[in-house]
Amino acid sequence: MSTKFDGLFQCGCAVALLVFNVFVGSWSVNYLLEFFLSKSIPFIGSALIGLFVGEISVPVAVVIAVLKYFHVL
């Protein structure tokens, strides 16, 4: 059974994933750059990088943040 909202839900999930990658991915890219290289880049640059590598950089940044919280790193 198909409704007129099926396409909206599919598009909404894709947009939500892109928004997540832009904002959380940009945070994680800047966090990792700060941790490993002691450097930071502007938001637009980190957002573009996070858009493409957010799926990898977000979990890595979370693991490093947890390890720093427990004083392992």
pLDDT of residue 14: 81
Q: Which two three-digit tokens encode residue 58? A: 């977000």
**Does the pLDDT at position 64 exceed 80?**
yes
- pTM passes above 0.85: no
Average pLDDT rounded to a whole number, residues 30-40: 94
CA-to-CA separations, 4 to 8, 12, 16, 33, 58, in angstroms, rounded: 8, 14, 20, 44, 34
